[in-house]
Structure 1
Amino acid sequence: MDISKNLTIPKMSLSLFFNLTLVSAISYLGIKWLLEQMDPTYRAKTKAREVAGKLLQRFARNGERPLSIRNFNDYEMMIAVHLVHPDDISVQWSDIAGLDDVIKGLRNNVIFPVQHRHLFQDSRLSAAPKGVLLHGPPGCGKTLIAKATAKEAGMNFINLDISTLTDKWYGESQKLAAAVFSLAVKLQPCIIFIDEIDSFLRSRSYSDHESTAMMKTQFMSLWDGLITDSNCTVIIMGATNRPRDLDEAILRRMSLRFNIGLPNMVQRRKILELILRGEPLERDIDFRVLAEMTEGLPGSDLKELCRSAAMYRVRDFVSDEIEAPSTSASAPAEPESLRPISMGDLLYATQHIVSSKLLSAPV
């Protein structure tokens, strides 16, 4: 019997096994790469993972419990792009004027139960609501209130963009909607803010597309899961200027509602004083007169009014500089400075804003 022939058999088997393993590994990596390239959302998921990974590192450093990127799937990372840390929110209660009743209601019903959860462990009725609706005319500060609430309560803030949930591929929208809630639960306490919520969760009808109806249904079912879990500190806050367009099931889930209407004269005066606080003003500014003349204007128009008044002094400075004769080289240079905002600037800006509102009003 030839011993050398018997020894070549194990060598051939080992070589064949190694070659098969190498080919299998290369085939697996090649098929995986090919499937990833064929995935229409692969690039979006990759980019979202890069951006969200940097954001979540901030939460891992400052949070009470360490967060690992591996604990989040691709859909949660796409939603995490819209995540805002409470320390990065610059809006505070002191930046909002004329809405003291709304601020008091949010402090008592949302912020205090979140910050002092240990006091309400024996009662589910005293817990923070799972849904808050802010409704009223445009430009009255609904978005500012939502951000200030997250800032004061120290809650993570997801400024949800509805376009993120819409996808042309079947089933992707449902996965993204589920990722909103799973991400918020992992980052609780958290506020999910939906601006113009009526465009997403309006009344359902037979004309709705199948995918849209399924996404709404899943969104509401996941919302019910938050309501039944008393230990979950996730609040969905929506803002709209058309509350009657919302579905009745959505209104039922948003038990805490605040009507943020147009400011009255006292509120307008407070808003103007807050906007012009710290600005160079002349001594003859009469905020009472300005408040009387700006009846019917929301806070956004009042801010634009003050911005226009501040720009009038820039216009005068530029025109004076152009018309002024050139000084000689030996003459000392005058210090460049803008004049303070005058009452005339504010009155002129008020007349312009009011007239433009009247022209745009329906006949």
Structure 2
Amino acid sequence: MSDNSITRAELISIFIRAGILGICSYFAVKWMVNTLDPTRKQKREAQLRAERLLSRLGVKDLKTQLNEYELSIAAQLVDPQSIDVTWNDIAGLEDVIDDIKATVILPIRTPELFVRSELHQPPKGVLLHGPPGCGKTMIAKATAKEAGARFINLEVPALTDKWYGESQKLAAAVFTLALKLQPCIIFIDEIDSFLRSRETHDHEATAMMKAQFMILWDGLISAKHCQVIVMGATNRPQDVDKAILRRMPAMFQIQLPNKEKRRAIIDLVLEREDLNENVDLVTIADITEGFSGSDLKEMCRSSAMFRVKEFSTQLLNNGSAGDCDEREEFTSPDVISSLRPMNMNDFLSAIQKMKESKVSLLTGHSMIGLD
């Protein structure tokens, strides 16, 4: 045998060493990637937050059955008991609330009443659409609280990942987690920004994630007695993909409030406020045409701030006098808590200011100097 020949034992030894080197290289590269990953810390914090939320929800046995993707989505869970929005906090939308109670909440809370007919099952998709600031998000939160369902407030950026294929796995985890936690509501605010109409120039990863999302959604629709609902909110329903609209048969239009509804909203916002006898809420509701629910709340807040500004001005003027005894008396808790009641001029000034701001935004220039 030649001296240059390699024995069988030497060949096996070379293969073993090459295998060990390959394994060590794999784990070394994986360790370096994980160490250099800027999102590694955020992912770990999200998983810890998810474990705390699941424990608070009483989901202890299921925690060990969730994979890393489901734990990442679970970090966006909201405890229904921690939601501070109820039907009593929403005014002027009684007709929409009644429909949601009948079509969504009742089948979730009393499923035994609806098992005999598939037509009685809750819709797997609900779309709330209308102008901004009209209460769409509040309705979604109140629905989750009143139904006693787990609530996933899905943040679309959480579904994106720099690694190819990871976004599809995260999209799948949304539905697998919801199935394990049902009854569950998956809420997507501004759904048009995520599931807008598909175009040929869409990025491949985005297109694949949308397709995965819709395929899994179809699985929910075909499943019997499934208590998972996807609820979306948008002020641009025309931009939502038609295939998504088909999966959301229950649509509720949240319109700008009319005069009666504006009065109901104002009454709700001001129910604990001290008002001067000259405040005419009927007139305020009449002159705030075109205001949304959030506009009305901001108008009431701005009106209340006028008395605070007056008080702070008096406080500064009193403090500049240098009389410490008088200043201490002026800033006593009894005096601070007895701000003057809100008067009609406060509301009229706030409304005028907001109208000027709205016109300025629409016309693209300031109202200063205009008649």
Q: TM-score range by the shorter chain?
A: 0.7 to 0.9
Q: Is the 8 A contact 1:155 1:190 kept in 2?
A: yes
Residue from 235, 238, 255 that aligns with 1:241: 235
Which residue identity lines up with residue 340 of structure 1 in the other structure?
P
- The aligned residue for residue 68 of structure 2 is 74
Q: 1:20 maps to which residue?
A: none
The answer on 1:210 being equivalent to 2:204 is yes
- The residue aligned with 2:51 is 53
Q: Which of 139, 143, 151 matches 1:149?
A: 143
| 1:28–1:305 Cα change, 3 Å | same
Q: In the superposition, relative to structure 1, how do residues 32 and 54 fare at CA in structure 2: closer, same or farther (>3 Å)?
A: farther
Equivalent in the alignment of 2:315: 321
Is residue 2:30 matched to residue 1:35? yes
Residue by residue over 1:285-319, the C-alpha shift from the partner in whole angstroms, topping out at 9 and shown as x without a partner, is 21111011110011111111111111111110011
**Paired residue for 2:168, among 171, 174, 191?**
174
CA distance in 2, matches of 1:249, 1:224: 11
- RMSD value over aligned CA atoms? 2.2
Q: 2: CA distance between counterparts of 1:36 and 1:159?
A: 32
Aligned to 2:353: 352
Q: Which of residues 176, 190, 194 is equivalent to 1:200? A: 194
1:361 aligns to what SS in structure 2?
helix
Code of the residue aligned with 1:311 in structure 2: it is M
Match of 1:336 in 2: 335
Q: Which runs of 5+ in 1 are unaligned?
A: 1-23
**Alignment deviations for residues 242-261 of structure 1 (CA, whole Å, 9 cap, x no partner):** 10111111111000000101
1:214-225 counterparts in 2 under 5 A? 214-225=208-219
Quote the offset at 1:69 in angstroms: 2.2
When normalised by structure 2's length, the TM-score is 0.85
What are structure 2's unaligned runs of at least 5 residues? 1-19, 365-371
Query: SS where residue 329 of structure 2 aligns?
Result: coil
- Measured at CA, do residues 168 and 316 of structure 1 come closer, stay the same or move farther in structure 2, by a change above 3 Å? same
Deviation at 1:79, TM superposition (A): 0.8
Q: What's the offset of the Cα at 1:78?
A: 1.0
Report the residue type matching 1:55 in the other structure: L
- Which has the larger displacement, 153-162 or 271-280? 271-280
- Summarize deviations over 1:220-278 as a string: whole Å, max 9, x none: 00000001112210000000011011111111100000010111011111111111111
Give the superposition deviation at 1:356.
1.0
Identity %: 53
2:367 equivalent in structure 1 = none
- Rounded Cα–Cα distance in structure 2 between residues aligned with 1:217 and 1:286: 54
Judge conservation of contact 1:45–1:74 (CA < 8 Å) in 2.
Answer: no
Is the contact between residue 135 and residue 260 of structure 1 (CA under 8 Å) also seen in structure 2?
yes
Say whether the 8 Å CA contact 2:125–2:249 is kept in structure 1.
yes
- Equivalent residues of 1:195, 1:240 under 8 A apart: yes
- Partner Cα separation in structure 1 for residue 178 and residue 81 of structure 2: 17
Q: Check conservation: 1:45, 1:75, Cα contact below 8 A.
A: no
Relative to 1, partners in 2 of residues 1:332 and 1:130: Cα closer, same or farther, differing over 3 Å?
closer
The amino acid across from 1:70 in the alignment is: T
The match for 2:158 is: 164
- Amino acid in structure 1 at the alignment position of 2:346: D
Contact 2:304 2:342 in 1 (8 A): yes
Instruction: Describe how 1:8-157 pairs up with structure 2 within 5 A.
Output: 32=27, 35-39=30-34, 40=37, 42-60=40-58, 66-157=60-151
| Shift in Å, 1:178 | 0.3
- Of stretches 284-293 and 217-226 in structure 1, the one that deviates more from structure 2 is 284-293
Amino acid at match of 1:38: V
State whether residues 97 and 274 of structure 1, in contact with CA within 8 Å, keep that contact through their aligned partners in structure 2.
Answer: yes
**Maintained 8 Å contact 2:107/2:120:** yes
- Cα separation, 1, equivalents of 2:149 and 2:215: 23
Matched, 1:280 2:274: yes
CA contact (8 A) 1:36 1:42 kept: no
| Aligned partner letter, 2:228 | V
Partner in structure 2 of residue 265 of structure 1: 259
Measured in 2, the distance between the counterparts of 1:331 and 1:226 equals 66
Range with bigger deviation, 350-359 or 134-143 = 350-359
**Shift in Å at residue 42 of structure 1?**
4.1
Letter in 2 for 1:333: E
Specify whether residues 68 and 331 from structure 1 end up closer, same or farther in structure 2 by C-alpha distance, changes over 3 A only. closer
Distance in 1, Cα, partners of 2:325 & 2:216 = 74
Cα distance in 1 between the residues matched to 2:62 and 2:29: 28
* Residue 255 (structure 1) aligned with residue 249 (structure 2): yes
Q: Is contact 2:121-2:225 (8 Å) kept?
A: no
Counterpart-to-counterpart distance in 2, 1:67 and 1:300: 41
Q: C-alpha displacement at 1:362, in angstroms?
A: 4.5
Give how far 1:330 is off. Answer: 8.9
Q: For each residue in 1:153-173, what CA deviation from the matched residue of structure 2 results, as whole angstroms up to 9, or x when unmatched?
A: 011111100111112211010
Shift of 1:45: 3.0
Is the alpha carbon distance of 1:245 and 1:362 closer, same or farther for their aligned partners in structure 2, counting shifts above 3 Å?
A: farther
For the structure 1 residues 187 and 331, does the alpha-carbon distance in structure 2 shift closer, same or farther, using more than 3 Å as the test? closer
